[in-house]
Structure 1
Amino acid sequence: MNEEQRSVLLKSSPNFPPPKGVRLSYGTAGFREDATILKSTVYRIGILAALRSIKTQSVIGLMITASHNRVSDNGVKIADPNGGMLSQFWEPFADSIANASDPHQLVLLIDDFVRKEEISFNGNRAAEVLLGRDTRPSGESLLDAAKEGISSIIGAVSHDMGIVTTPQLHWMVRARNMGLKSTEHDYFQQLLQSYRCLLDLIPDGNKTNKTDRLNDKVLVDGANGVGGDKLEIFSEICDGLLVEVRNSSKGEGILNELVGADFVQKEKVLPVGFGPNDAGKRCASFDGDADRLVYFLVQPGSSRIELVDGDKILSLFALFIKDQLSVIKDEGKAHNSYQARLGIVQTAYANGASTSFLKNLGLDVALTPTGVKFLHEKALEYDIGIYFEANGHGTILFSETVLTWLEDKNREYSSISKDSEEQKAVSRLLAVSKLINQAVGDALSGLLLVEAVLRHTGWSIQKWNELYTDLPSRQLKVKVVDRTSVVTANAETVAVQPAGIQDAIDAQTVKYRHGRCFIRPSGTEDVIRVYAEAATQEEADSLANSVAKIVDQFLGSGSCH
């Protein structure tokens, strides 16, 4: 950095002193904390975003959100040029500048990083950052801090995209860097056109008349956040979607309080605003920033729900895409040797019944360590890669190779077999590639794809939910002195340290029908997480408790819950 740049940073950074006695760490969700202590962090991540833009010569995104956290929290995270998460190689730099004790140390760290990364301030393109925030009251002042950080890098510019969902901002960054139109209007138009295309291609036998559709709307819990608001806007321009949004940010409810996908998935109880009159209806829930989606069924006479989670969403999408590929593949054997490779990516937390179901379909199922960054990276290895976590975060990735192949096939069929089943299958897959958000999990686009596939198959939510029956499971946390004592392998399914602990776990697991159990260290707190499955809930609970005791014996923990 030159002296002018150092001077600008030294002048602006004293306005954003770091909180005392707090150490922050950049993870999958970026930084998240109580909003009152985040101004310094957001200012500094604004600097990082500008530097990342210079380094990559691309547009970068900065989103202010704490997703499904309580309303008093907030956070900040970066969207890389492809719309994905910040490169893992830059996470240590994010940690170091967020925790710098004073302006001089901050500038020293930045200067050192700029030299190490060979970031040139004399490039042809100035830094450019897209900014977004959710509906949290703290968002506006934190956005101002981000702008200050960005502008403290000479020549850097920011564009405020307003109140948006996290997936919208990621989509905008990806589109901008692909040279495509990238406003919220463009986002809605792409969803609208691809969704309508899928509806137009529904088999005649499964098309419903207008009266039937009026009785088949989807009830959506918006978590009192931004996602419900955006869905309402979309439904106004899309006459092919009938929704009733409850718990929008315009109501009296509090963001994520007893509502939202995280609450519904973990607690398996009704969110506020839903009751006995909704029994049998198709219900869905977004989280606070709309990057998670789960469906559910209201149980008659009970506050409990039947959850249709991310594993079931993945299974629905996998079936649909596999069916379309099989039509194209069969026709193309004689003159086209290319066969798209479809892959499914899960973590060990995926219910064992879902994994068995997918493998029985003949699909390639891969496991990765817990974390979206691992799932996304693995999914990129396939022509079409589908990943979802049980919590409802996931998407479908289409390689450039498979998209080119589909476009070629579409032109071929248009000239020789227009409106054939083969061409319809190709058109459906192309529409899915535009409907689904390939940058990141997106509750809005995911909901549209679920609705389109259900219409295509003619299935009710009940029939969808009957694809397989989840094995009962139990998760526990065991407090330990040092979580790093546990080292795992094979996508966190095997504990290789401390010596002997996996043998003890295996000895317990074999006692239970359909038993499966693994342990892994938390990424954020000194606890070891225990996950267990078995044929009955009583057995799953017993297995989890037995393994928690093993962890306690090996690691000298304090308690489990």
Structure 2
Amino acid sequence: MDEEQRKILLESASRFPKPQGVKLSYGTAGFRADASILSSTVFRVGILAALRSLKTQSFIGLMITASHNQVSDNGVKVADPSGGMLTQEWEPFADAMANAVDAEDLVQLITDFAKKENISFGADHSGQVLLGRDTRPSGESLLEAAKQGVNSIVGSFAADKGVLTTPQLHWMVRCANKGMRVSELDYFEQLSNSFGCLIDLIPQKTMLQLMDDTLKVDGANGVGGEKLEELKKLLKGLVIQVHNSGKEGGFLNDRVGADYVQKEKIVPCGFGPNDVGIRCASLDGDADRLVYFRVLSESNNKIDLVDGDKILSLFALFMKEQLSILNKKENENANNDHPVQLGVVQTAYANGASTIYLKQMGLEVVFTPTGVKYLHEKAADYDIGIYFEANGHGAILFSEHFLCWLEAKNSELASISKGTEQQKAALRLLAVSKLINQAVGDALSGLLLVEAILQHMGWSIQKWSELYQDLPSRQIKVKVADRTAVITTNAETVVVRPSGLQEVIDAETDKYAKGRSFIRSSGTKDVIHVCAEASTQEAADSLAK
């Protein structure tokens, strides 16, 4: 680092002093805290994003959001060149930067890290960072702090992409690094065109069975509702009514949104007796989570929740069906010698009934530790990898190798006998690969795929919900003196330490019909999470306690 770069960093960092007594840690959600104490952290993450861009010689993303947190919170996270999350190898550096006590300490840290990573500074080594923010009032000033962080690295450029959903920014980073156009309109057109393709390929026999084509969506008073209002103008074959778009005066994530609906299992604000039986969906604050629900009665606020596990099951069912059609050897000249690896990835928090259902379908189901970064990484090992958390965050990933094969297969089928069921299956799979965000879980693209599949099947939300019956479950938190005393293995389902604890858990679990239980440490607090399932709610509650 030359003297000019050092001087710029010292000067700019002094304008964003670190608040005393604040210690932050970079996790799956990046950094999150009350917005009033975040400007120093966001400024420093701007520097980190610029360094990551210099290191990778790629576009990097920086998103300012706190997702489903309350409106007074905010956060910041980095998107890597693939559009995925920041590599875990850089997370310790992110922690060290955020917690550096002053400008001198910060600059020394950057100098040492750049030397270790062989990062070159100067105008000849340009870095490019795409910035986005959600609708939180604190977002504008924090985005300015991020900009100053990026621009404090000589030769780095910050491109403000405006108010976006988190998945939109991740999509833009991925596309920019592939040399594609990355405007918001390009994103909307890719989603609407892919959705239109799937609707056009619906079998004629199911067209007569179609249920209500109206979908009511809870936008969590956040950016997702705002963007869905724009996207729906490009859609045909689906009527969307957006509630809680942020224009009605409600507060972000206040008794609305996917996190609230999934955890509380009650009707969100803006929905009521007039919505009984209608298909409804809920986004979270930055539109990377999606759940569906049905209002059950005019007299109370109970819902039939269709969570991420059932979204995963619907997607898996559809993908397996299309692969089965594609692999039928209807024509002697067709080449069917590619064994497609379709895998499903869950965490231990997935309802046991969903895992049983998926395995009964003949699918390979694997488990990872809790956290999207683990699920996404494992799903990428397959030709087609499907992952979802019960909270509604998930995606379908397609390998580049499989997509090349599928393109060739489609061309081959078209030349032999255009319009066959096999070719339609190939076209559907290609459309899904363009509809589903390949970078990160995306509630808007997920919602459109759910709607296309329900129309394809001719299913109501009630029929979808009846795929399987969830096992009753209970989750509780136990405060402990030291969470690090508990060490787990096997995707966090088996306790290694303290010695003998797993045997006690097993003995207790064996007392209950369909019993399943596990414990895991919190990532941030001295708390142990306890999860239990059993054949009845009373039994699940008892096992958890």
- Tell me the TM-score normalised to structure 1 length: 0.95
8 A Cα contact 1:132 1:161, kept in partner? yes
Kindly, what percent of the aligned residue pairs are identical?
Answer: 67
1:206 to partner: Cα distance: 1.4
**For residues 275-311 of structure 1, what are the alpha-carbon distances to aligned partners after superposition, in whole Å with 9 as ceiling and x for unaligned?**
1221111000000000000000111122111110000
Q: Quick one: distance in 2 between partners of 1:540 and 1:76?
A: 37
**For residues 306-360 of structure 1, what are the alpha-carbon distances to aligned partners after superposition, in whole Å with 9 as ceiling and x for unaligned?**
1100000000000000000011112289633111110000000000000000000
Residue number in structure 1 paired with 2:149: 149
RMSD across aligned C-alpha pairs, in angstroms? 1.2
**For residues 419-457 of structure 1, what are the alpha-carbon distances to aligned partners after superposition, in whole Å with 9 as ceiling and x for unaligned?**
000000000000000000010000000000000000000
SS of the residue corresponding to residue 223 of structure 1 reads coil
Residue number among 284, 308, 311 corresponding to 1:310 in the alignment: 308
8 A Cα contact 1:328 1:426, kept in partner? yes
1:21 to partner: Cα distance: 0.7
1:207 to partner: Cα distance: 1.9
Query: Are 1:221 and 2:215 counterparts?
Result: no
Q: Does 324-333 or 2-11 show the bigger shift?
A: 324-333
Query: Counterpart of 2:25 in structure 1: which amino acid?
Result: S
Query: Counterpart of 1:218 in structure 2: which amino acid?
Result: L
Q: Quick one: distance in 2 between partners of 1:337 and 1:239?
A: 37
Runs of at least 5 residues in structure 1 that lack an aligned partner in the other structure = 546-561
Query: Are 1:282 and 2:297 counterparts?
Result: no
Q: Quick one: distance in 2 between partners of 1:473 and 1:368?
A: 20
8 A Cα contact 1:135 1:249, kept in partner? no
8 A Cα contact 1:54 1:123, kept in partner? no
Residue number among 256, 260, 283 corresponding to 1:259 in the alignment: 256
SS of the residue corresponding to residue 181 of structure 2 reads coil
Query: Counterpart of 1:130 in structure 2: which amino acid?
Result: L
Query: Counterpart of 1:275 in structure 2: which amino acid?
Result: G
1:125 to partner: Cα distance: 4.8
Q: Quick one: distance in 1 between partners of 2:347 and 2:188?
A: 31
Residue number in structure 2 paired with 1:34: 34
Residue number in structure 2 paired with 1:556: none
Residue number in structure 1 paired with 2:241: 244
Superposed, which structure 2 residues align to 1:377-392 within 5 Å? 377-392=377-392
1:274 to partner: Cα distance: 0.6
8 A Cα contact 2:272 2:301, kept in partner? yes
Residue number in structure 2 paired with 1:369: 369
**For residues 108-134 of structure 1, what are the alpha-carbon distances to aligned partners after superposition, in whole Å with 9 as ceiling and x for unaligned?**
000010011111226965100000000
Query: Are 1:342 and 2:339 counterparts?
Result: no
Runs of at least 5 residues in structure 2 that lack an aligned partner in the other structure = none
Query: Counterpart of 1:438 in structure 2: which amino acid?
Result: Q
Q: Quick one: distance in 2 between partners of 1:207 and 1:126?
A: 53
1:208 to partner: Cα distance: 5.2
Q: Does 121-130 or 50-59 show the bigger shift?
A: 121-130
SS of the residue corresponding to residue 365 of structure 2 reads strand
8 A Cα contact 1:190 1:435, kept in partner? yes
SS of the residue corresponding to residue 518 of structure 1 reads strand
Residue number in structure 1 paired with 2:131: 131
SS of the residue corresponding to residue 262 of structure 1 reads helix
Query: Are 1:194 and 2:194 counterparts?
Result: yes
Q: Quick one: distance in 2 between partners of 1:184 and 1:415?
A: 35
8 A Cα contact 2:31 2:76, kept in partner? yes
Query: Counterpart of 2:310 in structure 1: which amino acid?
Result: K
8 A Cα contact 2:213 2:238, kept in partner? no
Residue number in structure 1 paired with 2:452: 452
1:239 to partner: Cα distance: 2.6
Query: Counterpart of 2:314 in structure 1: which amino acid?
Result: L
8 A Cα contact 2:475 2:544, kept in partner? yes
8 A Cα contact 2:253 2:284, kept in partner? yes
8 A Cα contact 2:61 2:79, kept in partner? yes
Q: Quick one: distance in 1 between partners of 2:281 and 2:124?
A: 47
**For residues 238-287 of structure 1, what are the alpha-carbon distances to aligned partners after superposition, in whole Å with 9 as ceiling and x for unaligned?**
23221000001222100000000000000001100111221111000000
Q: Quick one: distance in 1 between partners of 2:324 and 2:121?
A: 51
Q: Quick one: distance in 1 between partners of 2:287 and 2:521?
A: 28
Residue number in structure 1 paired with 2:397: 397
Query: Are 1:500 and 2:497 counterparts?
Result: no
1:178 to partner: Cα distance: 0.8
Count of aligned positions? 542
In structure 2, the CA distance between the partners of 1:165 and 1:208, relative to structure 1 (3 Å rule), is farther
**For residues 71-93 of structure 1, what are the alpha-carbon distances to aligned partners after superposition, in whole Å with 9 as ceiling and x for unaligned?**
00000000000000000010011
Q: Quick one: distance in 1 between partners of 2:246 and 2:169?
A: 19
In structure 2, the CA distance between the partners of 1:320 and 1:125, relative to structure 1 (3 Å rule), is farther
SS of the residue corresponding to residue 85 of structure 1 reads coil
Superposed, which structure 2 residues align to 1:451-470 within 5 Å? 451-470=451-470
1:229 to partner: Cα distance: 0.8
1:364 to partner: Cα distance: 0.3
Q: Quick one: distance in 1 between partners of 2:330 and 2:145?
A: 56
1:4 to partner: Cα distance: 1.2
